[in-house]
Amino acid sequence: MFLTLEKTAGRGSDAKFDGVNASMELGVAAPDGWMFRLAAARRVRLLTLRELFGEAIGRFVLNPDLQPDVSWPFEAAAEFRVASGSFDITPFWVETRRTLDQTRVVVDEQSLRQRINLAGSRTYGVEMRAQWHPSDQLSFTGDATWSRSRARSESVAISVRRLYLSDRPNWLAQAAAKYQVGAQTTFGLSVVYRGTAKSEDDAGFFLDLSAATQVDMVLSHKIILARSGFDMELFARLDNLTDTFIEPQLGLPSAGRSFKLGLKAVF
């Protein structure tokens, strides 16, 4: 038996998605470890299987008119690099047409979600990244992104929707430290911060999602070193050490504290 697109996704058998991606970049090296960069691009984000077939899990309503979105990102970056580390900062601006988002719909008295295309949206912000290696054994890395996203006013179908984009945190940041104990054992600690966001409830109103900080730890020990052509290590990982409540989407919290013990092999 053969299933057609019409049966699985409500689309005709000739339905297809395509698009053109393009980018250009200009970089200038400056004295004393500095580098400056300008970039612009056109990007098409094709629909994922979850967005096309999400109704199969009983939470989404099919939207047969769903289309890929098209964005035009613009960036201006400054980078500073030395032997022990680096730092870069990148302000950005993104204009998007047919922005992919979601809304609530009621079907047979049940509130479900539906993937939709907004007329467009605008996102701007700044991204920062840093690396520091004070010694061969110790290293620090970190990155942080602040952004602000708003839908175009003509995208708003109902007055309560306002101009918010669903589940877009204003801050995303993480910092990590890694310490090498001898040639075989490594200890790692990371902290991930997720800022506030807006998420739509069953009535179509946008509610606040609280900020949250997650702490993870990992300890690994190499049983066989990579120079032999085969790398094997034991690891123990503790995620969300403080059992923090994290809610990326209204009503769908992330996992709490979890512990993993395993063996990893790379050929």
Which two tokens mark 159? 């007055």
pLDDT score recorded for residue 4: 40
> Per-residue pLDDT for 244 more than 50?
yes
**Residue for token pair 């949206």:** 121
CATH of the domain at 251: 2.40.170.20
> Per-residue pLDDT for 3 more than 50?
no
Alpha carbon of residue 262 to chain centroid: 26
Nearest to 244 by CA among 252, 255, 235, 236: 255
Domain that holds residue 159: 5-266
pLDDT score recorded for residue 183: 81
At 6, the pLDDT band (50, 70, 90 cuts) reads very low
Q: Is the model more confident about 57 or about 222? A: 222
pLDDT in tens, 177-219: 999 998 889 999 999 999 999 988 877 788 999 999 999 999 9
pLDDT score recorded for residue 14: 54
- Total number of domains constituting the chain: 1
155 φ/ψ angles, rounded to the nearest 5 degrees: -80, -15
6 φ/ψ angles, rounded to the nearest 5 degrees: -65, -35
> Per-residue pLDDT for 13 more than 60?
no
Q: Which amino acid is at 11?
A: R
> Per-residue pLDDT for 265 more than 90?
no
